[in-house]
Structure formats: C-alpha cells, structure tokens
Amino acid sequence: MPGFELFGDLERKEVNDVLDNGVLMRYGFDGMRKGHWKAKELETELQNTFQINHVQLVSSGTAAVSVALASAGVGAGDEVIMPTFTFVASFEAIMMLGAIPVLVDIDDTLTLDPKAVENAITDKTKAVMIVQMCGSMGNMNALSNICTKHNLLFVEDACQAIGGTYQGKPLGSIGDLGCFSFDFVKTITCGEGGAVITNNPEYYKNADHYSDHGHDHIGSDRGAESHPFLGYNFRLSELHAAVGLAQVKRLPEFLSIQKKNYTILRDAIGEIPGVTFRKVPEGGEESYAFLNFFLPDLESARKVSASLKDKGIDACFHYYDNNWHYVRKWDHLKNLKSLYPISNEVKKGLQTLQNKKFEQSDHYIARNMSCLIKLSWTEDEVRQRAETMASCIKSCF
C-alpha cells in the first residue's frame, strides 16, 4: 500500500486504450469506443475479486458510503452507528444524506465494540457501519448478529482493507453493502474512485441509478433514458477506471509484497516486552496494509512516535493527536462548523459530542502505533527499517 508505487506497463496500456478512442465518460458514445468499456470491465473484475454479485463504481470512497446508505433508504433523521476511529469521510458521507452519525467506542480490533453498538441503538437507528481501519476487521459475527436481531442495515466501510478476509469471505462482502476507496493512497488506486458492492439486486439497481442523476440505464440512447427517482453525479471516468483495472489485476502481487514486508517488521518488534498487537478476530486475515501495535501507555507511544520520526522512519502514525482520523480532534464536527445550515435533527443528534468522553477508545488509540506497509521497499530497506524500529521502541521504555 499504496499501489501507485508500482505503476507500470499495464497501467499505461489501459490508459492509452482510453486516450486512443477519446471517450472518457463511462456511459454512452458506443460507436467511438473501439470496444473499450473500462468501468464495466473493472466492475466485472471486482465482482470476481470480492466474490460478490454486484459492483457499482463511484467517484470516491466517500461517495461509496453515501450511495450505499441512500440505496438502502437511509436518510433524514436516521441514525447510523459508526466508530470513533475512522477517517472524517465517514461522518461526512452520513451527514450528506441528512442522517445522524452516532459515534461509539472501539475495542482492541481498532473498530466497533459490539457492546458499545448494542448500547447505542435507539428507535431511530437505521444502520451500523463498521470501518475496517488499517487493513483489518472487527468482530464480524457479533456485529452481524446485532444487526439481524434489531433489523438494522450492516454496512462495511472496507476502504482500507481490500484483500482482507473473514472466515474465507473478502472484507466488504459480508454485510448488506460494502464500500471501497481507490484514491491515490489505497492498495489499488484509480487516482480517485470507489465502489459499492452488494448481493442485493434492489440496492444495486438503486446505487446504479442514484450515482448517475437517476438515469435508469435502459436501452442504448442515453438521452432517452428515464429517471425513476432523484440522483446525483457520483460517476467514475473511464480514465480512472482504466488505472484501477490494471491495478486490480495486480492485487495478488501487491498483497504478497505487503504480507512479506509486514511479517519482517512484526517479527522484529514482536518479542519486545510491552509491545502487543491489534487483535485480529479468529477466522480473519488482515490485508497487511498496516502494522498496528500497542505500547504500554500514552507517554511511551508519544516517545516512540517522536523517536521514529527522528530516525527517519516515516508513515508511522500515532492517531491520538491526529485531527483526521480520531474523534478527539474533530472540533469542526463537535462545533458543527458548516458552510450551510445543518438540520435541527442532526444538530440535536450531535450536541452531546462536545462534552462526550470516549475513555475506552482513548485507552486503545493513545497507545497505538499504525505503520504503513509500502510496496516499493527492497528487502534490505525493510530489514533496516525493522532494526531501526526495534531500536527506537527499546530505547523509549
């Protein structure tokens, strides 16, 4: 991670196909295409990769979450349970629909604690959205059972977890809907882009229409298509799809490199007293996109973070002080700093955030280090990095 590190001839070929025919839009212009339909081809490849019946490409991972929720009828006043540790896009995508993000504590998997989810359910709850942060997963069986018990939508934001599996199933394919991002720093990239995946044909049809201004995509004359319902423009271009098509074909190669580099780093720090690792539920295999480990306390984590930076070890994140990925620093959300008026329902739903404490989440995020696994490292670079990381950690406590 990320796939752009290994751009090569296959990416160039797929992009040149699009430039050669001149059709950059995924819909229409059939006669000009010379048989090239990159978005359709990428959707087929992703169906196979995710072992899923339906894939709808969209313009980003954020768009994927909004489209997924909208396709299942989530909207104004509905509550969507989500974790405190995620990217800001998670609550942005929920609020875009007029729905209310309900933040709950994480556990040692670094995502939703099932007990916290159960305690947060109200008569307004419509969906539970797990965010598979840093390449792994939560307790999928427990969360799925909760959703079944309360008749709730189970949505997987697997934007950082492509290639991970749970009980043999690809992450993203387990819930009612799965969401992926293919932005520039993901394991496979389109530059910008995302996808909604599902086995539910009604959700798929809705996602297909909703992401393209409500077009029903019936027939071969785009101008004659009808609009069964309102939609918006979340389309992915053929150029973006072309890059993604090349990248998804290389996914096994990328995952193999990630696992090798991850294993070298983990082995180097695994025997250090005081270091423990993020829990991967039994039956799960993470994508190895990140190495996540815990230190004894906040002070240790801050010392290690500073030492790694001082030694030139980049892409190791201590999210406790980060304003993009953890609730503690989301002041713009807590204070509802918006360019446009926010509905009273959403305001009321979020009003407790200003003073709410997430002590359990703090317990994990304060001690966590999350290290990106790059694809471009040579083996010598990985081993040197492992040695330096181990030295930094040992020197700090």
DSSP calls for 206-227:
HHHHHTBTT----SS-GGG---
* Mean pLDDT confidence for 122-150: 98
Sorted by sequence, the CB contacts under 8 Å of residue 295 that are 6+ apart come out as: 274, 275, 301, 304, 367, 368, 369, 393, 396, 397
Q: Give the model's confidence band at 124: pLDDT under 50 very low, under 70 low, under 90 confident, else very high.
A: very high
* Mean pLDDT confidence for 5-26: 97
Same fold? 3-250, 252-396: no
CATH class belonging to 3-250: alpha beta
Q: Give the model's confidence band at 353: pLDDT under 50 very low, under 70 low, under 90 confident, else very high.
A: very high
Q: Give the model's confidence band at 1: pLDDT under 50 very low, under 70 low, under 90 confident, else very high.
A: confident
Assessment of whether the complete model's pTM goes beyond 0.95:
yes
Tokens of 251: 């996914």
Domain boundaries, the chain: 3-250, 252-396
Q: Beta-carbon neighbour count of residue 31 at 10 Å? A: 7
* Mean pLDDT confidence for 308-333: 96
| Model pLDDT, residue 397 | 79
Report the percentage of the chain scoring pLDDT > 70: 100
| Model pLDDT, residue 275 | 98
* Superfamily designation of domain 252-396: Aspartate Aminotransferase, domain 1 (3.90.1150.10)
